[in-house]
């Protein structure tokens, strides 16, 4: 197995966010662009974060069946 | 920082010997702690010799055999207490990440963050910040001891998280420095350890547990389990605290410390559980129970602290 397979750039967390390694610009549904500010960022997939487009942990408050 | 005030016979004898030019170590080793406060302030100071030390103590005493002997005996007694408080068995579902998140979510305890968000007054918040400063001004340092003790994947993963904690190379973004700036703007003392004489037993126990786990290689699983539980219980409470500080009109720098932790720790909780603890367990599966022990200890000590403060405030 190559080292690459162990170290993905994008990780989909079950029931939670998408982790993104590296520097990216994300465009949200309104067309606003957000640049990542840390080495790894968590992008919200549940739609409930108050810090869109970033995850703020809110996904943990929704019932398990309704998480991403 | 100077040595703290003694809280009983052992700490007074030990601190006096540490400051003395001709210490009588025999007297220190013969003394037993009067109570838990006495034990924990002594242990906190012995641990501190491995961090930044004290202006009134010779740096060479970090490895003084009698002080190491004393540290080991106090750590032994504290570890026993922590293990006695913990459940005897841990969840053993094969999906570690899912099991760990559920374990933390199912733990029910009093919430300081909820009180700060809605009801706390200005004085109570400043008191809380003084208590928190003991750890936040050395944030992440106890976990840094673990780095050289890990196999490759867990080591790289822990450094990925720690790099962010330490500001990604920018001293202005180092979390401990953000907290110090917030303290300063609140009119509180930003120096490392400034409020050690004011903190109750529960704060000493929280800090000593992190140092105990970090400084003993055999407890690396507990250290990283503690880290993971800490991160998993950080984002949402940090937002509540930030809202409470804003409600009370506290300075922006302190609010920013907490808002920074909302998004940072939403990332860190995933890293801590999945890439750090998860990969370590692939390599060293025997550490699983200690990971849960560390996580439980983190949650339980925070409950004890929260109960103490809420009782004192009659909240
Ligand atoms: S995925 Fe975490 S808040 Fe939406």
d(CA B214, CA B224): 9
Give the best residue of A5, A6, A40, A41 to mutate against chain B (max B CB count within 10 A).
Answer: A40
Q: What mean pLDDT do residues B175-190 have?
A: 96
Q: pLDDT value at position A2?
A: 43
* pLDDT over threshold 90, residue B187: yes
Q: Kindly report the average pLDDT of chain B as a whole number.
A: 96
Per-residue pLDDT, averaged over A1-24, amounts to: 83
What's the number of CA atoms in the CB half-sphere (13 Å) around residue B258?
22
pLDDT at B210 over 70: yes
Is residue B287 within 8 Å of residue B278, measured between CB atoms? no
Nearest to A38 among B164, B262, B274 (CB): B164
| Chain B contact for A17 (CB, 8 A cutoff) | yes
Q: What is residue B315's predicted lDDT score, i.e. its pLDDT?
A: 78
Confidence of residue A68 (pLDDT cuts 50, 70, 90): confident
- Chain mean pLDDT for chain A: 89
Which range, of A1-5, B196-200, B218-222, averages the lowest pLDDT?
A: A1-5
Contact A53 CB / ligand 1 (< 6 Å):
no
What integer pLDDT is reported at residue A65 of this predicted model? 85
Overall average pLDDT of the B99-122 stretch? 95
Where b means 16+ CB within 10 Å and e means fewer, B208-229 reads bbbbbbbbbeebbbbbbbbbbb
- How much is the ipTM here? 0.91
Q: Does A38 contact chain B (CB < 8 Å)?
A: yes
- Say what the pLDDT of residue A67 is: 86
What is the distance of C-alpha B219 from the center of its chain? 15
Under DSSP, the state recorded for B252 is H
pLDDT tens, residue by residue, B114-169 = 999 999 999 999 999 999 999 999 999 999 999 999 999 999 999 999 999 999 99
pLDDT tens digits, B239-272: 999 999 999 999 999 999 999 999 999 999 999 9
On chain A, the residues whose CB falls within 8 A of the CB of B274 are: 11, 13
Residue B152: the pLDDT is: 96
List all residues 6 or more positions away from B101 whose beta carbon is below 8 Å from its beta carbon. Answer: A15, A60, B232, B273
Domains, chain B? 9-85 (no CATH), 96-314 (1.20.910.10)
Burial B94-125 (b: 16+ CB within 10 A, else e): eebbebbbebbeebeebbbbbbbbeebeeebb
Name the pLDDT band for A29 (thresholds 50, 70, 90): confident
Per-residue pLDDT at A1 exceeds 50: no
Residue B86 and residue B33 in contact, taking contact as beta carbons nearer than 8 Å = no
Per the model's pLDDT, the better-predicted residue between B241 and A68 turns out to be B241
Residue A3 has pLDDT above 50, yes or no: no
pLDDT band for A5, please (50, 70, 90 cuts): low
Predicted confidence (pLDDT) per residue in B22-63, tens digit: 999 999 999 999 999 999 999 999 999 999 999 999 999 999
pLDDT of residue B111 exceeding 70, the answer is yes
Which residue on chain A is closest to B274 by alpha carbon? A13
User: For ligand 1, is residue A43 a contact (CB within 6 Å)?
Assistant: no
Which pLDDT score, from 0 to 100, does residue B262 have?
A: 95
The pairs formed by B64-68 with CB atoms below 8 angstroms and a separation of 24 or more are: B64/B25, B66/B25, B66/B28, B66/B29, B67/B14, B67/B18, B67/B25, B67/B28
- Domains of chain A, residue spans: 10-58
């Amino acid at each position: 197995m190559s080292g690459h397979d162990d170290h993905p750039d994008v990780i989909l967390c079950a029931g939670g966010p998408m982790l993104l390694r590296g520097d990216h610009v994300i465009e949200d549904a309104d067309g606003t662009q957000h640049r990542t500010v840390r080495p790894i960022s968590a992008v919200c997939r549940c739609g409930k974060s108050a810090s869109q487009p970033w995850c703020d942990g809110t996904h943990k408050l929704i019932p398990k069946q309704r998480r991403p | 920082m100077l040595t703290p005030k003694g809280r009983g016979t052992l700490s007074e004898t030990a601190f006096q010997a540490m400051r003395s030019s001709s210490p009588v170590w025999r007297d220190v080793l013969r003394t037993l702690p009067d109570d838990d406060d006495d034990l924990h302030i002594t242990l906190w100071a012995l641990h501190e010799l491995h961090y930044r030390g004290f202006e009134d103590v010779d740096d060479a005493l970090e490895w003084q055999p009698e002080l190491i002997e004393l540290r080991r005996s106090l750590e032994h007694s504290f570890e026993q207490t922590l293990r006695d408080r913990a459940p005897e068995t841990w969840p053993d579902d094969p999906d570690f990440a899912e099991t760990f998140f559920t374990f933390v979510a199912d733990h029910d305890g009093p919430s300081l963050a909820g009180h700060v968000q809605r009801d706390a007054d200005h004085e109570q918040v400043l008191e809380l910040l003084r208590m928190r400063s003991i750890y936040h001004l050395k944030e992440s340092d106890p976990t840094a001891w673990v780095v050289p003790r890990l196999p490759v994947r867990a080591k790289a993963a822990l450094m990925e998280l720690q790099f962010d904690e330490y500001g990604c190379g920018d001293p202005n973004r180092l979390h401990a420095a953000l907290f110090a700036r917030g303290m300063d703007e609140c009119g509180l003392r930003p120096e490392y350890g400034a409020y050690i004489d004011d903190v109750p037993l529960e704060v000493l126990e929280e800090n000593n547990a992190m140092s105990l786990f970090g400084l003993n290689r055999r407890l690396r699983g507990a250290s990283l389990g503690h880290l993971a539980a800490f991160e998993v219980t950080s984002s949402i409470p940090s937002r509540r605290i930030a809202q409470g500080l804003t409600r009370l009109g506290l300075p922006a720098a302190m609010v920013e410390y907490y808002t920074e932790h909302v998004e940072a720790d939403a990332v860190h909780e995933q890293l801590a559980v999945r890439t750090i603890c998860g990969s370590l367990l692939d390599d060293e599966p025997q550490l699983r129970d200690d990971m849960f022990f560390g996580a439980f200890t983190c949650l339980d000590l925070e409950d004890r602290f929260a109960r103490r403060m809420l009782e004192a405030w009659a909240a």
